[in-house]
Amino acid sequence: MEPISAPRRLRQMLADPSKTVVAPGVYDGISTRLALAQGFDCLYMTGAGTSMSRLGMADLGLTTFVDMLQNALMIASINPSVPVIADADTGYGGPINVAHTVKSYARAGVAGLHIEDQVQEKRCGHLSGKLLVSREVYYNRLRAACKARDESGSGIVIIARTDARAGKDNEGNGGFEEAAERLKAAAEIGVDGLFFEAIQSEDEAKQVIEKLSGTKLPVLLNMVPGGRTPIIANSEANKIGFRIVIWPTMGLEAVVPALQGAYASLKQTDRSPPDQQIGPGALFETCGLKDLMDFDESVGGKAYK
């Protein structure tokens, strides 16, 4: 039997209106392995995490299409049966670039992606000073994404993201109503999901669902601790009506303090922290050591006996 493609699996998950897809943020191979080990049914490749881990730079639109594609390909390939939703920023150019991005992500095994309405010099959705493209430029991006989805036959899930709640275009258009109108139009264009960025309160989260209920599309909730949106538990998000919840920075929030402590210990005490000495075997097992050795043996290899 032919395996189910990642986009089809994600669509099956979203077809159940009673359930909410929860996707922790991953940004490299180790974070992906650790999230998979916990049994999550879906993963989210964070653009901020990609920028920080691959470039060592803050999320200010410095990652290129190639940076994002290579990371998405690696993450999606670790376990192709678990769908990956990936940040695709602005699509990395005009409509032709957007179409190329969608088709390339689909070939890389990505299940879904989101395209936003910031200018090319974009920044993290929870930073101030965001600038938007006009409605028409944004809609052209989405039309290109949907057409590329259909032409590729991949079924990759296209999610329209708007940053209008906390940003403005050159004519000063922005705010809650502008964001809602942009997403309603996105639904008419033919996207598969909606992403209302930088929701300001739990009450506003309920208003978002009410405003977009007529589209009949799944709405995504972005949970960033310390960001503009208050933290809402997955179960509560489900009750409100969100069908996807992503936690982009969860892995980074855990790793950064741990690394800071470990490196500080080495500098100050001339040794690694005693409670972190788990050994190379355990480290490698995190990334599939036993499975790799078993595969080698299954084909007659003896190198790892």
Instruction: Give catalytic residue positions.
Output: 44, 59, 87, 89, 114, 116, 124, 161, 197, 222
Provide the CA 135 distance to its chain's centre, in angstroms: 23
Compute the distance between CA of residue 88 and CA of residue 226 in angstroms, rounded to an integer.
Answer: 23
Compute the distance between CA of residue 145 and CA of residue 190 in angstroms, rounded to an integer.
Answer: 10
CB proximity list for 205: less than 8 A, separation 6 or greater: 199, 221, 229, 232, 237, 240, 242
* First CA to last CA distance, the chain: 33
Using alpha carbons, list the distances in angstroms from residue 95 to 148, 197, 297. 10, 22, 49
Using alpha carbons, list the distances in angstroms from residue 58 to 2, 52, 228, 249. 41, 6, 18, 13
Using alpha carbons, list the distances in angstroms from residue 280 to 276, 277, 283. 11, 9, 5
- The DSSP secondary-structure symbol of 275 reads G
Spell 258-275 as b/e; 16+ CB within 10 A means b: eeeeeeebeeeeeeeeee
β-partners of residue 196 are 162
Compute the distance between CA of residue 77 and CA of residue 82 in angstroms, rounded to an integer.
Answer: 9
